[in-house]
Amino acid sequence: MRDSYLNVYHGPIRGGKTISMTADIIINMINGRKAFTNYPIEFSLEVSPGVFRNYSSEIFNSDEIMLIDRDEIKKKYTESIIGWDEGALSMPARDFQSAENKLESQAMLLRGKLGMSIYFTVQYLSMWEKNMRLQEDNRIFCHDLSFMYPKSIPQRGLVVSQTWQDQSGRSTGMPYELTQRGYRQTFYAHSFWDTYDTTKTFPVVRNKISMQDVRNTLSEYDVTENEESNLLILQHTVEEFIVREQFRITAGILYEMAHRNGFQGKKTDIGISMINLGYRMSASGMWCLD
């Protein structure tokens, strides 16, 4: 069984959090670990002269974590690594009493028994679920050094300063609480620029639901090994537009974005799915998302 860690990458916007996390996930993928991420990671590696091996992460469905006690879900995530970008949007601290926060943070307690590691990025730790903060193994502060040295590093995202704090003591033998020591390293990020695309991150935000809603959902949840529900993908796509404050979307643009996120079907299927989700179309032919 592989060892298990919960690492949190935090820092300001454009500070290098996601690319730092991506680099660590890629190292695990090269070492034979399957990866699930809520943004796509794809890259090729030359394993011998002229021979390349392709790597890619699988789409992470956070709803499955609430079902981690099911055998098929447990098998799927055993000895895997999960990359959860912008964790505070999915598990905000102010919703600490919500059903999702409780069930997901409790499920994380099983990661050691499954040999599963979980990496999160958050902008500010105070924005993120408190019960998850208590489980941290390593806390990594990321800062783009081009802001500090604009003349010598004129390009954003080229060099990132990482300061590691061993919160649990599992990496260095002594917890940060006793040593108060941060381990600093400089990360040259250029090699990882083309391996991921965070503009495709989803889900972005969640609706508040009750515990009873979750129970009903779990009882009806049809678990599949390699595919997501079209309705779920479409709902995540709609939420991306809502976060951007785009509340009127043409059917063509909606279909194109949903298709990129993995929607399987024709343009006509979008209309049926949107109606099933409770959305309506205006007289001008625009889908109303508010």
pLDDT in tens, 54-82: 999 998 888 788 888 888 899 999 999 99
pLDDT given for residue 81 in this prediction: 96
Q: Phi/psi of residue 13, each to 5°? A: -60, 140
pLDDT given for residue 211 in this prediction: 47
pLDDT given for residue 213 in this prediction: 54
Lowest mean pLDDT among 10-24, 100-114, 224-238: 224-238
Average pLDDT, the chain: 84
More confident residue, 97 or 117: 117
Residues near 21 by beta carbon (within 8 Å), at least 6 away in sequence? 7, 9, 83, 85, 119, 120, 121
- Mean pLDDT for 148-168 is 92
pLDDT given for residue 214 in this prediction: 54
- Mean pLDDT for 120-137 is 87
pLDDT given for residue 9 in this prediction: 96
pLDDT tens digits, residue range 186-214? 999 998 999 998 777 765 455 545 545 55
**pLDDT above 50 (res 260):** yes
pLDDT given for residue 221 in this prediction: 47
- Mean pLDDT for 103-126 is 89
- Mean pLDDT for 258-263 is 77
Which CATH superfamily is 6-200 part of?
P-loop containing nucleotide triphosphate hydrolases (3.40.50.300)
pLDDT tens digits, residue range 12-35? 888 999 999 999 999 999 999 999
Lowest mean pLDDT among 180-184, 211-215, 266-270: 211-215
**pLDDT above 60 (res 269):** yes
pLDDT tens digits, residue range 39-60? 999 999 988 898 999 999 998 8
Is the overall model pTM greater than 0.75, yes or no? no
3-class SS letters over the chain: CCCCCEEEEECCCCCCHHHHHHHHHHHHHHCCCCEEECCCEEEEEEEECCEEEEEECEECCHHHHHHCCCHHHHHHHCCCEEEECCHHHHCEHHHCCCHHHHHHHHHHHHHHHHCCEEEEEECCHHHECHHHHCCCCEEEEEEECCCCCCCCCCCCCCEEEEEEEECCCCCCCCCHHHHCCCEEEEEECHHHHHHECHHHCCCCCCCCCCHHHHHHHHHHCCCCCCCCCHHHHHHHHHHHHHHCCCCEEEHHHHHHHHHHCCCCCCHHHHHHHHHHCCCEECCCCEEECC
Highest mean pLDDT among 102-106, 142-146, 239-243: 142-146
pLDDT given for residue 2 in this prediction: 87
pLDDT band at 225 (very low <50, low <70, confident <90, very high): very low
